[in-house]
Structure 1
Amino acid sequence: MNHTAAQPISADAWVATALGEPTEVLERQTVEVRAPGAGEVRVAVRAFCLNFNDIDIIKGRYTTLPLQPPFVPGMEAVGIVESAGLGAEHLVGRRVVGIPVMAFGGYASYAIVDAATVLDLPEWVSDIDGAALHYPFHLGWFALRERGRLKPGETLLVHAAAGGTGSGALVLGKALGARVIATAGSDDKLEFCRKLGADHAVNYRNSGWVDEVMELTYGRGVDVAFDAVGGSVTTDTFRCMGFNGRHLMAGFAEDITLEDGDYISPRPIAYGNFDVCGVCLVYVTDPLAVRRTLGFNWPARSEGLDAHVKILELMRTGRLQTVVGENVAWEQLPQALRRMAARETTGRLVVSTGAHD
């Protein structure tokens, strides 16, 4: 189908009918999905992952992407490109993973996806693994290699390492040759991290976890810290950083409002002689245009394509495996978000739509 022939199409979707708890405001409805515009594709969705940001968006707490109901949440989509807008026609018929336009609309059997974010999936990668590799491994690659300059033999500290992005950083860090210290909040999650290959596992809910990390590094501190938690975990991690270390600020799972918080003091950074590195991954076709309009520095699509090849090769050769904690049934999506918010899940939660099989 070419871009001139595409018409709106009906889709099965989970719709946020109001702002609030997902189990209370999400309703399964039939929605109309528009035709793709220039630089967009419409994907017949087979699977997608659940994200903490989805929860914050549904609750109306994510100020970076404020949405007014009704809307379809969902920041990722795996499926077949069914139609394409101008400039993206070459993608029709390909099985891809990508980010829906404006990072919502993925909880549906059809989604409009930004063509700049689209990545091909080879036949040997399942829909579930395709969903589970996308954000954790691409975010992890960008964070650890591009921003953190992680080298083989260095010590990597990964917070919330049993979660979706943390588990990805853990296994990717091991694949890149790092010694990994994982933190988590329960004994079960610590054991989960050890099974993923963590060299050491530390409970960051214990008041002495900083001292434990320093003991494990023989007083030197860590070379790189992957921190998608924020808040007190971040400020405590500053005490763990080694000379010339790189602290990767990759998220705010503790509380999304920390994005605009003032809880960080320059003193420990200045006197600690370590770097604090922002990590925000969105592949775009024109990084300079984004810089001019939004003031953000985002990587080019070409960098994403290069990272994708390297990630797939690590997977093909068995050095990297996805961490799928649960394959969620379509009907159980709201309940899965509730369990994720309550920190009752591990790894990536992948939803199969059951459509287009």
Structure 2
Amino acid sequence: MAMGKSVAAEAWVAERTGKPSEVLVRRAFEVREPGPNEVRLVNEAFSLNFNDIDCIYGRYATVPVSPPFVPGMEAVGVVEAAGPGAEDLIGTRVVGIPTGALGGYSTHVVCPVSMTLLVPEHVAGETAAAMHYPFHLSWLGLYERGKLQRDETLLVTAAAGGVGSAAVQLGRLAGARVIALAGGPEKAEVCRELGADLAIDYRAEGWVEKVNEFTGGDGVDVAFDLVGGQVTTDIFRTMGFGGRHLIAGYSSGIEQEHNASFDPWRMVYGNFSLVGVAHLYSDDPVAQWRRTGTRPTLRSHGIKVHADILRLLDEGKIAPVIGRRVDFADLPDAIDALEARNTHGKVVVGNLPAV
């Protein structure tokens, strides 16, 4: 069918804002029909994100919410309904970011075609869920925005997480020397197993000095910063001449996305650049910029990047790190563990209710 009526789904619904495990309720939830250039898929797997947590607390200004709502920024499944302009995707298997970056914690999910990519049948749903956002964001950051080159030095923060672990792998593939910052000795060991040349527990004192010692005082060429806050200003002290400090996330506090403040002195006198990175695709970037103020990449380019990522996956040169697999029924406990930083890699949710 080209257009479908709304469907009754089973979902984890945030009945109010607050601590996720206290406000999420598993219940029936009506999922609307897809609009123009949207698809609705039957969800088979999804991963959890820190931005989901921020949405549930109601503190993510970029994704404003009004309870009740279904959180969730990712989904993998087969398209069962489509709006005008998307009919050719019916029956295909896709990975996507839901419309408005909400709705993934459900058996049915509506996604814009612009943020939807095909997934081959031989790629497991859990793999696709763990691969999509981390490798697309890291690819954009390191290869396109950061222009990472062979023999340069790359610093990756939150390097044992889903995105950070992807960045470590892509950095190694580029021929860079990789310094990984992780929160604790166990997570640092994960980074070493991924091939990091130096893995540091940034919660311990002296990590800036260790980075500068490793580079011989030359500093790092590219920093992939997923943390923000004090870590960002500390990274300023490690940047080399002509370096590119990539701002790609705020796991230390999403409020910094709108209220970040730092002294530009080190940037000016350090002769390095601050570079923004956001994973956004659009078939009409100018229209999206006029509508939202964001600057996306063309979806056609994203499709090419996706093909490269899938090729590297098939060749065994990259692999998403899945630190925890949980059933749909156990989602609240899993998101508690993510919030407490008791996970590494991606937390992937599977075994969704049959529809």
TM-score with structure 1 setting the length: 0.97
* Alpha-carbon distance in 1 for matches of 2:137, 2:256: 20
Deviations 1:228-269 (A, max 9, x none): 100010000011111111100001100111112242111111
Q: Report deviation, 1:111.
A: 0.6
Counterpart-to-counterpart distance in 1, 2:170 and 2:52: 24
Query: For 1:248, what is the secondary structure of its paired residue?
Result: strand
Could you tell me which residue of structure 2 aligns to residue 346 of structure 1?
Answer: 344
CA distance in 2, matches of 1:290, 1:8: 26
Structure 1 counterpart of 2:23, one-letter code: V
C-alpha distance after superposition, 1:35-92 (max 9, x if no partner)? 1111100000000010000000000110111101100000000000011100000101
SS at match of 1:201: strand
Q: Indicate the residue corresponding to 2:323 in structure 1.
A: 325
Q: Write the distance in 1 (CA, Å) between the matches of 2:126 and 2:151.
A: 31
Question: Could you tell me whether the CA contact under 8 Å between 1:44 and 1:356 is conserved in 2?
Answer: no
Offset at 1:175?
Answer: 2.1
Q: Distance in 2 between matches of 1:64 and 1:214?
A: 35
Task: Find the counterpart in structure 2 of residue 164 from structure 1.
Answer: 162
- Name the residue aligned to 1:53: 51
Match of 1:154 in 2: 152
Instruction: Check whether the contact 1:98–1:119 (CA below 8 A) recurs between aligned residues.
Output: yes
Counterpart of 1:318, as a letter, is: G
Aligned residue pairs, count: 355
Amino acid paired to 2:78? I
Contact conserved, 2:162 with 2:320, CA < 8 A, in 1? Answer: no
* C-alpha distance in 1 between matches for 2:353 and 2:329: 13
| Partners of 2:348 and 2:335 in 1: CA distance | 11
Q: Secondary structure at the match of 1:256?
A: coil
Further displaced range: 191-200 or 36-45? 191-200
Tell me whether 326-335 or 48-57 shows the greater mean CA deviation: 326-335
The counterpart of 2:202, out of the listed 201, 204, 213, is 204
Q: Please give the TM-score of this superposition, normalised by the length of structure 2.
A: 0.98
The amino acid that maps onto 2:121 is: E
Question: What is residue 266 of structure 1 aligned with on the other side?
Answer: 264
In 2, Cα distance between equivalents of 1:133 and 1:94: 18
- 2:281 is paired with a residue of what secondary structure? coil
What is residue 220 of structure 1 aligned with on the other side? 218
Give CA-to-partner distance per residue, 1:300-336, whole Å, 9 cap, x none. Answer: 1112111101111111111111111111111111111
Which stretches in structure 2 are left out of the alignment for 5+ residues?
Answer: none
TM superposition shift of 1:296:
1.9
Is the aligned partner of 1:23 residue 2:14? Answer: no
Where 1:47 maps in the other structure, the secondary structure is: strand
Partners of 1:354 and 1:108 lie apart in 2 by 8
Q: What's the C-alpha RMSD, in Å, of the aligned pairs?
A: 1.1
Amino acid at match of 1:193: C
Q: Distance in 1 between matches of 2:126 and 2:194?
A: 18
Deviations for 1:141-188, whole angstroms, at most 9, x for unmatched residues?
011111100112211100010112111111121122221110112111
Give 1:236's aligned residue: 234
1:129 aligned onto 2:152: no
